[in-house]
Amino acid sequence: MQIFEAGLTQHTQRQNEVECFFTCFQKAMADNQQRGAQIVADFERARRQVMAEMQQAADHSLLKVRVRNEIMQIRDTLLTLELQLVAQLEDIIKDFERNITDMCRDLENHHHEKVLDIAVATLDRVAKNELEEDLPDDVHLLFVDKDTMISTVNASHDMHLLKIDNREDELLTQLNGWKSALMKSIHDDEVKRNRKRISEIHKYVDYTWDQLEETLLPDFQ
């Protein structure tokens, strides 16, 4: 099978891998958001309870300590939850990147195997003087013997010397470019998401402090 055909065969597999990745990614975020929402809801219920108790209590000192502890606790809990999500998403991203890299490597190996096959066939034709056209001197030196030729193919970074089909080189270039662009986009989006979430947590905690100090504890230090 030509590498171009192999690439087309892998297209559906790559699409499935991408869809599976984003499904897992979104599920992890949704589960984390649900847990965070529940934590906030529990805190809001506790805050309303404190407000009710404040109306009945003569001494507010113990309630002040309780409020301080609850605010610090929800801050730490939400930040810990975000750290857990970051670690989980990093694992998902690493698995996805490894799978996509393996797919690209499979095509590259197929490419290399084809180069080696062509080189062996060319060596045989050189030995039998059956080439239809003369090879350039520098290329001809590659076909002195089989060991030299194989070593050169394995070490060479210039596959064009062996006249590999341009569309196959283009396919590998496009595939690796697609992988690099996709992974960069995923990493960039995750950094933005994390920064936004951290900012939201701090803003919520600040808002909670302001609300409690304004409505319940004007003398809170």
221 within some domain? no
Span 34-92, pLDDT tens digits:
999 999 999 989 888 877 776 676 666 777 778 888 889 999 999 999 999 999 999 99
Residue 15 has pLDDT above 60, yes or no: yes
Looking at residue 132, its amino acid is E
Residue 106 has pLDDT above 60, yes or no: yes
Q: What is the pLDDT of residue 157?
A: 40
Q: What is the pLDDT of residue 64?
A: 74
69 within some domain? yes
Task: Give the structural domain span for 183.
Answer: 3-215
83 within some domain? yes
Q: CA-to-CA distance for 148 and 117, rounded, in angstroms?
A: 15
66 within some domain? yes
Q: CA-to-CA distance for 103 and 18, rounded, in angstroms?
A: 12
| Phi and psi angles of residue 57, each rounded to the nearest 5 degrees, phi first | -85, 145
Q: What is the pLDDT of residue 24?
A: 94
The model's confidence at residue 3, banded by pLDDT at 50, 70 and 90, is low
The structural domain count of the chain equals: 1
Helix (H) or strand (E) holding 93: helix 61-127
Taking CA atoms, 135 is separated from 117, 122, 147, in Å, by: 18, 10, 19
- Give the residue carrying structure tokens 């559906």: 12
24 within some domain? yes
Residue 57, sorted as left (phi over 0), alpha (psi -120 to 50) or beta, turns out to be beta
166 within some domain? yes
CATH at residue 209: 1.20.1230
Span 144-156, pLDDT tens digits:
666 666 666 555 5
112 within some domain? yes
220 within some domain? no
